[in-house]
Amino acid sequence: MVLSAKTFATVIGSGPNGLTAAIELASAGVKVTVHEDNHLIGGSARTAELTLPGFHHDICSAVHPLAVSSPCFERYPLANYGLEWIHPDAPLAHPFDDGTAVILERSLDQTCVHLGPDGEAWRRLFEPLVEAWPRLRHDLLGPPIHIPAAPLAFARFGLNAIRPARALAESQFREARTRALFAGIAAHSALPLEGRPSAAFGLVLGTAAHAVGWPIPKNGAQRITNALAGHLRALGGDIRTRSRITTLPDGGVTLCDVTPRQFLPLAAERLPASYRKLLAAYRYGPGVFKLDWALSAPIPWSAADCRRAGTVHVGGTLDEIADWETRLEGKPFVLVAQPTLFDPSRAPQARHIAWAYCHVRNASAVDLTDAIESQVERFAPGFRSRILGRHVLTAPALEYHNMNLVGGDINGGAMDLRQLRVRSTRLRYRTPLRDVYLCSSSTPPGGAVHGMCGYHAAQAALRRLPRLR
């Protein structure tokens, strides 16, 4: 069976999910055109000289455990289009005020040794998930309803994932350092650590660190985008930049790499009132305040081991991290990436870049440059003296740069349980309009660069397309 030669598709938005949806459709013989509002493709997977000439910064995504876990990316010949993964010596470091740090190693055994009295508890929590990862990732990145590929591990994951990160950390670990390590990973959820299911993020990203690492693309995140676009073009797909779509096109199938906030005006009166109400009630999570630095030398961490890690979680203890993620006031919990320690191509010789962000209230224009730099300075005295240039993105500036980042929310919407239910039932790709699908990170399985929202949306569309016998 082949698709009707008349079948054509419009994809609105060229983020990783839009490009993946386009690849899936083009692979099935559909004539695809991707329309991108921006002058550059890639949505939140782009790289640019934000500070000084020769310093190549990731504007948004930087570290990609879920891209290397993605069942669809692994089927694409992305290496042929220039994508090369670099694995830092260790995925993550978490420094403390006493000048030491806990290192999350690729090796589970080595990590357990570092964690001393908590080593066995860490192993009990993670080992079954790490062993099951080759199958479990299909469940975690799968559509909401599916036959589990790793039923036991998925059930074990679910029991702990549903818990608040604080409760899980305090019940499993005795040491303040281990609790802090888990809290920092779980804080990627952008949820209060007392909220459900913040533990899920600690488990997924912690497991991925051991199973596949937290790699960075050589030359930056733009390489993921360029590789997806190269593959798409080879399949006959067309990409148009500076092409903002304001109303849904007539005819063909349409996949929208947009969040509910933008879908509402796109579809406007064509939508039934109940669905319009659902979209209007959709909630966004905290925003992000982002900083990029051009540096004269690496960040001078007091704990020298931090230089072995691609990512450093800066914020101290579980209580401190939890306090920031709940109140978004005080001392920020900061995620730092230091790519040039492992990829010198990103800066002039002997120079460095670093990437950092923290959560802020949605749409807050607050400038946390000083607060973030003070936190880095706390664990790396002398850091400020190495700054050659900096680039600041407040939450509204992020939205200006990419409409999908509503109020600076980088996850396509709030990740709390109530909204996850909405995302996995009412935003399951199909919309009430025939041949119109949502494919952004607001749909399951959610945020991060993995393309699986686009993949599942395209499969849903392909199931309904006319075929020739």
Work out whether 258 is an interface residue with ligand FAD (CB under 6 A): yes
Nearest approach, Cβ of residue 50 and ligand FAD (Å)? 12
Q: What angle do CA 253, 259, 261 make, to 5 degrees?
A: 115
365 close to 394: Cβ distance less than 8 angstroms = yes
User: Does 407 help bind ligand FAD (rule: CB under 6 A)?
Assistant: no
Q: Rule CB under 6 A: say whether 189 interacts with ligand FAD.
A: no
Locate 194 and state its tokens: 């007392």
Nearer to ligand FAD, 300 or 339 (CB): 339
State how far the alpha carbon of 398 is from the alpha carbons of 309, 354, 364, in Å: 26, 18, 11
Binding characters for ligand FAD, 225-244, by CB under 6 A (x = yes): -------------------x
Residues 384 and 299: their CA atoms lie apart, in Å, by 9
Q: Are 181 and 102 in contact (CB under 8 A)?
A: yes
Please identify, among the stretches 149-157, 278-286, 365-373, 400-408, the one whose residues bind ligand FAD according to the rule CB under 6 A.
400-408
Q: How many CB atoms lie within 10 A of CB 330?
A: 11
Annotate 273-295 with b (16+ C-beta within 10 A) or e (fewer).
eebbebbeebebbbbbbbbbbbb
66 binds ligand FAD (CB under 6 A): yes
Q: Whole-number minimum distance, CB 5 to ligand FAD, in Å? A: 26
**Burial class of residue 269 (count of CB atoms within 10 Å of its CB; 0-12, 13-18, 19+):** exposed
Establish if 290 lies at the interface with ligand FAD (CB under 6 A): yes
The reply on whether position 142 binds ligand FAD by CB under 6 A is no
Among 9, 294, 448, 457, binds ligand FAD (CB under 6 A): 448
- Of 7, 10, 17, 27, the one binding ligand FAD (CB under 6 A) is 17
Closer residue to ligand FAD, CB minimum distance, 114 or 450: 450
What is the helix (H) or strand (E) element at residue 459, kind and residue range? helix 452-464
CA dihedral sign, ordered 32, 16, 258, 157: positive
Is 125 a binding residue for ligand FAD by CB under 6 A? The answer is no
For residues 376 and 459, what is the distance between their CA atoms, to the nearest angstrom? Answer: 44
Residue among 99, 98, 95 nearest 313 (CA) = 95
Query: Quick check: 25 and 2 in contact, CB under 8 A?
Result: no
Element (DSSP H or E) covering residue 273: helix 273-280
Closer by beta carbon to ligand FAD, 119 or else 332: 332
For residue 315, state whether it binds ligand FAD (rule: CB under 6 A). no
Q: Which is nearer to ligand FAD, 129 or 360 (CB)?
A: 360
CB 156 → ligand FAD: shortest distance, Å? 24
Size of the site for ligand FAD (CB under 6 A): 40
Under the binding rule (CB under 6 A), the answer on residue 105 touching ligand FAD is no
Q: Which is nearer to ligand FAD, 119 or 310 (CB)?
A: 310
State yes or no: residue 403 binds ligand FAD (CB under 6 A).
yes
Q: Which stretch binds ligand FAD (CB under 6 A): 59-67, 79-87, 161-169, 234-242?
A: 59-67
Q: How far is the CB of 67 from ligand FAD (least distance, A)?
A: 6
**Which tokens go with 173?**
């670990």
| Nearest CA-CA partner of 164 in 197, 122, 186 | 197
Give 50 or 150: the residue with its C-beta nearer to ligand FAD.
Answer: 50
Residue 18 or 300 having the CB closest to ligand FAD:
18
Residue 396, phi then psi, degrees to nearest 5: -65, -35
Q: Between 276 and 359, name the residue whose CB sits nearer to ligand FAD.
A: 359
- Binding residue for ligand FAD (CB under 6 A) from 12, 23, 227, 438? 12
DSSP helix/strand/coil, 326:
helix
Choice from 228, 406, 449, 458 touching ligand FAD (CB under 6 A): 449
Sign, CA torsion 18/19/20/21 = positive
Task: Decide: is 215 part of the binding site for ligand FAD (CB under 6 A).
Answer: no
**Rg of the chain taking only CA atoms, in angstroms:** 21
The least CB distance from residue 411 to ligand FAD, in Å, is: 7
C-alpha torsion 134→42→224→48, nearest 10: -130
**Which listed residue (239, 245, 334, 372) binds ligand FAD by CB under 6 A?**
245
Q: Which stretch binds ligand FAD (CB under 6 A): 75-83, 320-328, 382-390, 397-405?
A: 397-405
Contact positions toward ligand FAD, by CB under 6 A? 12-18, 35-38, 43-45, 60-64, 66, 244-245, 257-258, 262, 288, 290, 357, 398, 402-405, 410, 440-441, 447-449, 453
